[in-house]
Chain A
Amino acid sequence: MRGIVGNRVVRRVASTLGTLFGVAVLVFVMLRAIPGNQITAGLGTEAAGLAPAQLQALERYYGLDQPLITQFFSWLGNLFTGNLGYSARNQQSVLELTLHSLPVTAELAVLSIVLALVIGVPLGTLSASRAGSPRDALGQLVSLAGLSIPSFLLATTLLSVFAASFGFNPNGRGFATLAEDPLLNLQQMVLPALVLGFGIAAPILRTTRAAVLEVRSEDFVRTARAKGVPERRLQVRHVLGNALVPIVTMTGLQFGYLLGGAVVVEQIFSVPGIGRQVLLGIQQKEYAVVQSTVLVIALAFVLVNLLTDAIYRLVDPRVGAS
C-alpha cells in the first residue's frame, strides 16, 4: 500500500515538474517569437538611429548577443540557485518583485473568491430551491450579468462614479500593503475584489444551482425529508453538503486563474499585482521577468489544484476511499 502511495507521489511530482518545464520552454519560445527586444522596447523608433557599434554594445548589455540555447539554460540553471533574473527597468531582482506582487495578488484572489462564494452559493441555492420561479429568474439574471458585463467596464464605471460622486478613490492614493496600512489596503481592495468577485460569482452560481438541483432529486433527500429532518438542515447539510464537490472544483479553477493576475482590473485600480508585473515585463521585453513570473504563476496553479484535491477528501470522504 505504501509503495502504491509512494509511486503516486512520485508520478505527481514528475508530472508537475514536466508541466513546469513545458511552460518554461513554451514561454521562452513565445517571447522570442514576439517582434522586438529589450532594445527596441526601451528606445522605440529611436533605436533606428543607433550606429551598429552602439547596437552591439546594447546587445552585450542585455545579453542578447548570446545564442538562444545558452540564454535558456543559463536562465533555467539560475532558477535552481534561487536567481529568477533581474529587472533592469525596476533595478530589482525578479524574486524581490515577485515577493512584493504575489502576496498582493493572493490577497486580491482570496477576497474575490470570498465575495464570489458569498454571492454565488446562496443565490445558486436559492435559484435551485424553486426552479423556474421568480427567485430562479433573479439568480439567472445575476449570473447572466456576471458573465456578460466586461470587468473593464464595471471597474471603470465603479471607479469613476465613486470618485466623482463621493470623492471615494483610495486607489488613487498610492498602494499600501496589508502590513503597511491594513485599513487603507482593504479600502483599496474593496472595488477590485467586488469587480472580480462579481464576475466569478456567475459560474459558481450556475454550478451551485446545477449541483443542488441534481442532489435534490436523489433518494436520500426524499428519505431524509420523510424522516422529518428540518428543511433548513436538509438544505444545508444534506443537499448543499453533497453538492460541494463541483462547487469546490469550480472555485479552485477560478482561484487558480486569479493567481495568474487579473491584468485589466489591476491596471484600472493601480494594484501592483503579479498580472501587472507580467504585462510590464512583456511590454518592456524583459524576458527574465516574464519567464520567471509565468513559471511562478504556473507553480501556484499546480499547487491550487493539489489543494483542491485535498479539499475533495474533506468534503467527500468517498474520494479518499476510492
Chain B
Amino acid sequence: MPRGWFSVIGVTSVLVIALAGCSSSGSGTGPSAGRTLVVGVTSDPDTLFPWKATQFTAVNVLQNLYGTLTEFDKDLNVVPGLAESWKASDGGRTLTLKLRQGVTFSDGSGFDSDDVKWSLDQIMNPDTAAVARASLSSVKSVTAPDKSTVVLELTGPDAALPANLATINMAMLSTGDTEAKLSTRPNGTGPFTLRSRAASQSITLARNDKWWGADKPKAGALEFRVIPDESSIVAAMQSGNVQLTVLNDPLVARTAQVPGVTVAKTPQLNYHVLQLNARHGDLKDVNVRLAIQCAIDRKQVLDTAALGEGEVVGPITSPAFKSDPARRPCPARDLSKAAEYLGKAGKSGGVTLKTIVSQGEYATSVNEAQNLKAQLAEAKINLDLEVLESGAYVDRWNAADFDAAVALNGGRPDPDGSYGRYFTSQGNFNKVAGYSSPELDKLFADGKATTGQAARKAIYDQVSARLEDDAVWIWLFSGYTYTATTAEVRGFVPMANGSLQYLRATSVG
C-alpha cells in the first residue's frame, strides 16, 4: 500500500480527533444556560392547536402556552384556573363560573367571558372537530351575563364537568382565533409564550411575565429539544445537554440511572388491559370472559413484560376513586375455576380469540401479549395474536374489529371521564368498549348527579364491581413514567396523568 494513503488516513484521524476535542459539554444556551430548561422529547408537536392535541409532546407544550378554566393540582384535585370559582345551582342544572380578572392573551388582548362563551361554543360545534366535544355533552347553552361571569345551562347535574374543563383540549382561546393562525402563532394565557420553532428539531418557549399565577415561572425559557430515540436522550443528559426528560421504557430508565441524573418513578393513571369485545362470538357469554379473568396471573404479566415496574390494578386508577384489585372474581390465578366457567359456557374444548396487538405503540405491548397467550393456553383459551403496525392497529381498534385487544388506555382523574364514554350506552367509545348495560347507565348517571366525594366513591366502587364481576375487560396493571432530571433542576413535580404543567415551577442552574 502506498505510503500516501497512510498519510491521508493519518490526517483524517487527526482532523476527527481535533474536531472532537473542540467539543464542549455545555447545554449550548450560552451564558444564560442556567435559565433555559432543556427538555428532551422524542418528537415535536404534531399540532399547536389545543382543541385537537392528543400527542404527548403537543399536549405538554400547549399546557405551557394555554390556560383552562380549571386545573389539576399535583394530587389531581380540581383547582381554579382561569375561573376563580364555580358554583352549581338549580339542582345542578346550572353551573356559574366567576372568571379571574386582569388575564391577558399573549397578543396583549384581555381575556373575558366572551372568550369563554366563544371557546365552549366552538368546542361543541362538530365542524371544529374538537376532541373534547363529548365531554360537554351535558351543556345545553353557554351565556355571558357580564365580563367576569359565565353561566352553563346543563341537561342535568354533571359532577365530572369541572374536571373535564381542566384538560388542554378545553383551552380558552381568544374570540375569532383560527386553527390556521394559532398553528404558527399560538395565542394563549399560559405561563409561557412561543419564542421559536425549528421543524422536527426544537420548540422554544419564553417566560410570560404577565401570567396570572402568584408564582411566576422560574425558568427564563423552556426548550423542548427533539431527540427521536430515548437512549439518545439519556446520552444527551449524561453529557449535560438536556436537563429533564420523561421516559416510558423501563429498560431505558434503568440505563439513565447514572451519577448526576436522578430518575423519579411516578405511578400512572394509564392502565394496561386486555380489552374484550363482549358483542363478539364466544365472548358474548359472561362465563367465557370470567374464564379468561381467572386464567391470568396479572403479576406474571407485569414481571415478564415490564420488569415488575408497576402495580396490579382494577378498573379505576385515579387515586381518589381507586378500585381494589383484590375485589374481583379471581384475584389470584385459578385454572380449575377457569375450566369450570368454560364448562358452564359449554366450551370445555376451548375457545379462540382474534387478538390485536400494537407493535411500537408502547414498549411492552408484544411481551404482554405473548405472556397472556402462554397463560391462557393452559386454560384452553387460544389468543390468535395479530401483531400490527400502530396505524393498522388504530384502524382495527377504532372499528372495534377484534375479539380482544392488548391495549394501554389513558386514565383520567375523574372516573366518569375515564369510563363514561366507554361503558354508557350513549358513550362515544361504546362501540369499541363492546359492552353496556342499563345498570351501568344508571350508575354513571348517578355518579354525575352526586357531588359529595364519599358518595361518588361509593357509586364508582359499584361501577368497578360491575365491570369486574362481568369480566367486561381484563384489567392488568399500571406502569410508571420515569422523570429523569440532572442535578441542577429544582422544583419539578411529576403528575400521575403524565402532565408536565409543573415545568412552570421548575428552575435550572
Contact = CB atoms under 8 A, between A and B. Distances in A.
Interface of A: 34-36, 40-51, 53-55, 57-58, 61, 87-92, 97, 100, 115, 118-119, 121-122, 125-126, 129, 156, 159-160, 162-164, 167-175, 183, 186-187, 190, 194, 232, 235-236, 267-270, 272, 276-277, 280, 284-285
Contacts of A194: 16
A91 B146 CA distance: 37
Contacts of A34: 391-392
Given A125-B5, A167-B239, A169-B239, A35 B129 contact: no
Given A44-B394, A54-B126, A173 B241 contact: yes
Contacts of B227: 171-172, 270
Contacts of B47: 42, 88-89
B241 A169 contact: yes
B314 interface: no
B1 A35 contact: no
A172 B235 contact: yes
Interface string B95-131: 0000000000000000000000000000000111111
Interface stretch (B19-27, B151-159, B281-289, B290-298): B19-27
Contacts of B389: 35
Given A57-B129, A276-B200, A172 B241 contact: yes
Interface in B368-424: 389, 391-392, 394-398, 421
A57 B429 CA distance: 19
B199 A100 contact: yes
The 5 closest A-B pairs by CB, nearest first: A172-B236, A172-B241, A36-B391, A53-B126, A169-B239
A118 B8 contact: yes
Interface in B126-154: 126-131, 133-134
Contacts of B239: 163, 167-169, 172
Interface of B: 1-6, 8-9, 12, 16, 19-20, 22-23, 25-28, 43, 46-48, 52, 54-55, 126-131, 133-134, 183-184, 198-202, 223, 225-229, 231-232, 234-236, 238-242, 258, 389, 391-392, 394-398, 421, 428-429, 431-432
Given A129-B1, A169-B235, A269-B232, A43 B52 contact: yes
A190 B258 CA distance: 26
Given A40-B394, A174-B28, A183-B19, A97 B202 contact: no
Nearest to B20: A168
A87 B183 CA distance: 11
B19 A48 contact: no
A38 to B, nearest CB: 10
B200 A280 contact: yes
Contacts of B2: 125, 232, 235-236
Contacts of B242: 172
A89 B49 CA distance: 10
Contacts of A276: 200, 228
Nearest to A139: B1
A90 B28 contact: no
A97 B44 CA distance: 15
Nearest to A280: B200
Contacts of B19: 183, 186-187, 190
A268 B46 contact: no
A118 B133 CA distance: 61
Contacts of A46: 54, 131
Nearest to A50: B129
Contact of A43 (B12, B131, B200): B131
B381 to A, nearest CB: 25
Contacts of B235: 159-160, 163-164, 169, 172
A267 B232 CA distance: 9
A174 B202 contact: yes
30 contacts: A34-B391, A36-B392, A40-B394, A40-B395, A40-B398, A42-B52, A44-B394, A48-B397, A48-B432, A49-B421, A49-B429, A50-B131, A50-B428, A57-B126, A58-B129, A87-B199, A118-B8, A122-B5, A126-B1, A159-B235, A160-B234, A160-B235, A162-B20, A163-B238, A169-B238, A171-B232, A172-B239, A174-B28, A174-B202, A190-B20
A53 B19 CA distance: 57
A167 B240 contact: yes
Nearest to B12: A118
A51 B126 contact: yes
Given A45-B398, A163-B239, 19 more contacts: A35-B396, A40-B395, A42-B46, A42-B52, A43-B54, A51-B428, A53-B127, A57-B126, A88-B47, A89-B47, A92-B199, A160-B235, A169-B25, A172-B235, A174-B201, A183-B22, A186-B19, A190-B16, A270-B201
Contact of A175 (B4, B201, B240): B201
B54 A35 contact: no
Nearest to B235: A163
A271 to B, nearest CB: 10
Given A167-B25, A187-B23, A270 B232 contact: yes
Given A89-B46, A270-B226, A285 B232 contact: no
Contacts of B236: 163, 169, 171-172
A168 B232 contact: no
B184 to A, nearest CB: 5
A91 B9 CA distance: 44
B129 A54 contact: yes
A53 B223 CA distance: 37
Given A122-B8, A276-B200, A174 B238 contact: no
B202 A168 contact: no
Contacts of B126: 51, 53-54, 57
Nearest to B202: A174
A91 B389 CA distance: 26
Nearest to B28: A173
